[in-house]
Structure 1
Amino acid sequence: MSDLFSLAGRTAMVTGANTGLGQAIAIALAEAGADIVAVGRSQATQTEAGVRAAGRGFHFVQADLGQPGVSGDVIAAAKAAAAAPDILVNNAGIIRRNDALDFTEEDWDAVMDVNLKTTFFLTQAAAREMISKGAGKVINIASMLSFQGGVRVASYAASKSGVAGLTRLLANEWAAKGINVNAIAPGYFSTNNTEALRADEARNRSILERIPAGRWGQPSDLGGAAVFLSSRAADYVHGAILPVDGGWLAR
């Protein structure tokens, strides 16, 4: 059974892997046997240390994923440094908060470009390589706001709803080509993106009261789901959106 979850001989590309959820996912995949290509704007020094401690190779590709036309360059850089990815984790994401009446076009475009547009085009570029090999795993990082509306995060909610739809569409198109496209929907996790919520005593209390597990998620809580969806154990899983939320959606 353990062989089903082994990622030995695989190369996994993880975007936004320098901190938080991306870092935890990258290290978990490395511990399962994958070499890691981390993509982001800033060096992923701590992630590299964790990956190398697991005995796996690590390569960093510096890229601003909010810029147009970056996806092909990222895949080319990965191939030059290591290998075309067998596994792609689209984790990079940003958030902007404001009332809907005051939300700016600039904040809308910034979030949609990183969270949705680049997710599609990077996946497209990676899938061209995967299809040539007849196999590949894509994991998109969705959100509770792929299912719910939220407040004061108009572009984030729209982008994550789009990620859910995109996951299903790509699964439909590529399942027969040997590519599994699925998503993980994290609940409320202790990361930089939720720092403002956790610092707000009233919001923090109301969130914790809603989570059956009674705590914020830790980035390491995503590792098992990421390894599963990257492995042969998930070969017949297509178009799924797996909540890792402490039971939030069950309430």
Structure 2
Amino acid sequence: MKRFANKVAIVTGGGSGIGLACARRLLDEGARVVISGRSQKRLTEALHGLPADRVLTVAADVSERPDCDAVVAAAVERFGRIDTLVNAAGMNLVGKIHETTDEDWEACIGSDLSGVFYMSRAAIPHLMQSKGAIINIGSVSSLGGGWSHAAYNAAKGGVANLTRSTACDMGRFGVRANTVAPGLTVTGMVDGIMEDEALLEKAWERIPLRRAGQPEEVAAAVAFLASDEAQWITGIVLPVDGGQTCTDGGPEWGK
């Protein structure tokens, strides 16, 4: 399918994990993609072999507003428009509330929540012209609390409600906003869980499909919500979690 032929997407956090899978999926379906990440070296390595004429990489820290403005400006300068924004940049922070330092809190909120706000605000004038879509990468933590992730849970809960507010504010202009909420997904952010048999056994008790997801499975949901097939969908939080959120409780990792 070439659902994104002649369209332009920005993907933050595109150097690895879910962000990279989203960038590759959109490229496979015909998009021109601007991919940002903190490390230009990592971006260059991750994107080796992708079509150079349809890819632009921009090193940026989404917790810094000027960097976000620069990513949007680079996209418009290179490709002339923006149709889709995928906010996939983020960090995981393990820590109970009384263990979370000011520095940890600010870093997590900056990366996971403020970056979504800064990128969305910068891109919206262009998305209004294209009647485009914003897809934010949240988490099952967008839908409920959990143990040992105070800052992360707060940030991802904020992403869900920021998405709803964006959908309300921008719907009249034809701009859609949705959140994809992955469960346990095989990325570098969860290496500690994937290597701990005891934690995995707890995870399988909460995940009916009894396995972790793959970044490409999350990217498939992102591509659907970004496509014209989802034109009547806005303001939702879509769990992509192997059924975790249909069980009677959230994750107990680290309880």
TM-score calculated relative to the size of structure 2: 0.91
Cα offsets for 1:73-122 (capped at 9, x unmatched): 22112222333321000000012212221210100000101111121111
Give the corresponding residue for 2:78. Answer: 81
Instruction: Note if contact 1:187-1:243 (Cα within 8 Å) is conserved in structure 2.
Output: yes
Instruction: Note if contact 1:112-1:156 (Cα within 8 Å) is conserved in structure 2.
Output: yes
Give the corresponding residue for 2:31. Answer: 34
Give the corresponding residue for 1:233. Answer: 229
Q: 1:35 to 1:68 in 2, by over 3 A?
A: closer
Residues of 1 paired with 2:185 and 2:212: CA distance? 5
Residues of 1 paired with 2:53 and 2:246: CA distance? 37
Residues of 2 paired with 1:190 and 1:40: CA distance? 19
Shifted more, 96-105 versus 64-73: the winner is 64-73
Aligned 1:195-210 pairs, distance under 5 A: 195-210=191-206
Residue 47 (structure 1) shift: 4.2
One-letter amino acid of the structure 1 residue matched with residue 111 of structure 2 = V
Q: 1:28 to 1:47 in 2, by over 3 A?
A: farther
- The unaligned stretches of length 5 or more in structure 2 are 248-255
Aligned 1:90-239 pairs, distance under 5 A: 90-131=87-128, 133-239=129-235
Moved over 4 A (4+): none
Q: How many residues align?
A: 245
* Structure 2 SS opposite 1:243: strand
Q: 1:232 to 1:56 in 2, by over 3 A?
A: farther
* Structure 1 SS opposite 2:202: helix
Q: 1:211 to 1:223 in 2, by over 3 A?
A: same
One-letter amino acid of the structure 1 residue matched with residue 8 of structure 2 = T
Amino-acid identity (%): 36
Residues of 1 paired with 2:62 and 2:102: CA distance? 18
Indicate yes or no: 2:22 matched with 1:10. no
Residues of 1 paired with 2:110 and 2:56: CA distance? 24
Cα offsets for 1:179-237 (capped at 9, x unmatched): 11011000100111111112222111110232111111111111221111111101111
Aligned 1:35-54 pairs, distance under 5 A: 35-43=32-40, 44-49=43-48, 51-52=50-51
Residues of 2 paired with 1:80 and 1:134: CA distance? 16
Residues of 2 paired with 1:226 and 1:142: CA distance? 11
Residue 33 (structure 1) shift: 1.2
Aligned to 2:19, which of 22, 26, 42? 22
Instruction: Note if contact 1:29-1:226 (Cα within 8 Å) is conserved in structure 2.
Output: no
Cα offsets for 1:10-51 (capped at 9, x unmatched): 011000011111111111111111111001111323542364
Shifted more, 108-117 versus 196-205: the winner is 196-205
TM-score calculated relative to the size of structure 1: 0.92
